Structure 1
Amino acid sequence: MIKKLIHYLSFRKCFVITILVVLILIISTILKINTYEVHTDIINVPQREYALVLGTGKFLPNGNLNYYYKYRIKSSAELYHAKKVKKLIVSGDNSRKDYNEPQMMKDDLIALGVPAENIILDYAGFRTLDSVRRCKNVFKCNSSIIITQYYHAKRALYLCDKNDMPNAIAYDAKLNVRFRYKLRNNAREILAWIKAWIDVNITDKKAKFEN
């Protein structure tokens, strides 16, 4: 009986300590997130050598244009023409021969007046983590401007911070969407945050292709 009681108390103590440690890590993460720079006004964006444009599908499953894609491309071209960046790294999915996000991004940026020689293609940006780690390890970029929507930018900067890119900043590719789409994105983002936290704090996840 006494052994069972000791075992129970030991288990309970370990459980409480584990919960406290997790809470401390979560709180410290939240406090750190609030220090990340996400610019919404192009005038205030500092100049950098590179911008990392995070990929997404150009078209929705129903065939309609994906406005998240449209405004990331638009914002990237605006930053380039405002001389805020010299080169754009377009990072997206090219896991199938019939699907090439980086090439689509490049073509659309060229159509907006960005010279082809200033666009760098990353064909293995399958996830935000992959894009960030490859930006650092493959393209040797230690400081960049992340171009994506605001809801996504904080997580991208968190991944940058945890992968030795603490000076990265972000530019919000602004767009207005219906409330129901915002709710859906926020719900997905919560799950994505949990996965990102586990990736960098527990499993030490790497990019699928690190070189």
Structure 2
Amino acid sequence: MGNWLLIRSLIKKLLFFTGLALFFLFTVNSHIKSTGEAHRLKPEDNFKAQTAIVLGAYVSPQGQLCDMLVDRVQTAVDLYKSGKVEKLLMTGDHGSTTYDEVNHMRLYAEKLGIPTEDIFMDHAGFSTYDSMVRAVEVFCVQSAVIVTQEFHLPRATYIARSLGMEARGVAADRHLYRGVEYNEAREILARNKDFVNVHLFQPEPKFLGPAISITGDGRQTHDQ
């Protein structure tokens, strides 16, 4: 009888803390989604910012951008050509000589007609959090339009605004993508992780470095 009472007590505690964790998980998720939606723009809206921050995604060994990344770069190029941003900041993973997102993003934007001096590259954007911290601390970005897919946009915008950037977002969904359900589910955990990062741990990015103002010449960030 005593063992059963102990087991029942442990089950109640487990259920209580599980419920509490789920409540926190979905409350934070809802908060970040609603905040991101409140600062979302349409490309045709009237606005102006220093730069479009283009978040990286998979690039093949041959240098082919995945569909999501093609759409992000094309959306940012359209914003530049319409005069709504003055620079493009390509941020992604260039952590080794064998994998390079940002140079291929830059080359694609140049192919679409963007002057090379107006393209900045963040070679150490290894996560959304790192990209936003580095945008503020390294590239001195004060105002930006963040360009990524709709599922990713609320988290990126939330992080940027929490760091003091005047950030808004434009969704770059121009195709139907594979794995939409997986991406949405993954974002619930990612939003909670970055909520804790922003408001509690505030970790430093993997790399920082000297300031390179987004108002200058982007070629100083080019390595090729």
**TM-score (normalizing by structure 2):** 0.76
Q: Choose between structure 1 and 2 for higher RCO, CA contacts under 8 A separated by at least 6 residues.
A: 2
Provide the residue aligned with 2:182 in structure 1: 184
Task: Count matched residues.
Answer: 199
CA distance in 2, matches of 1:120, 1:46: 21
Would you say the 8 A contact 1:38–1:150 is kept in 2?
Answer: no
Alignment CA distance shift 1:25-1:182 (3 Å): closer
Alignment CA distance shift 1:204-1:109 (3 Å): same
**TM-score (normalizing by structure 1):** 0.80
Query: What amino acid is the match of 1:182?
Result: V
Q: Where does structure 1 lack aligned partners over 5 or more consecutive residues?
A: 1-7
- Structure 1 residues 164-203: Cα deviation after superposition (integer angstroms, max 9, x where no partner): 22x200111013325x621121122122223212322332
CA distance in 2, matches of 1:77, 1:48: 14
RMSD: 3.1
Match of 1:196 among 186, 189, 194: 194
Query: What amino acid is the match of 1:85?
Result: V
Shift of the alpha carbon at 1:141?
0.6
Q: Where does structure 2 lack aligned partners over 5 or more consecutive residues?
A: 1-8, 210-224
Provide the residue aligned with 2:154 in structure 1: 154
User: Once structures 1 and 2 are overlaid, which stretch shifts more, 169-178 or 149-158?
Assistant: 169-178
Alignment CA distance shift 1:184-1:64 (3 Å): farther
What pairs with 1:1-211 in structure 2 (closer than 5 Å)? 27=27, 30-31=30-31, 33-36=33-36, 37-39=39-41, 41-59=42-60, 66-165=66-165, 167-177=166-176, 181-211=179-209
Shift of the alpha carbon at 1:151?
0.6
Would you say the 8 A contact 1:90–1:105 is kept in 2?
Answer: yes
Name the SS for the 2:180 alignment partner: helix
Would you say the 8 A contact 2:65–2:105 is kept in 1?
Answer: no
Shift of the alpha carbon at 1:123?
0.5
Alignment CA distance shift 1:102-1:28 (3 Å): closer
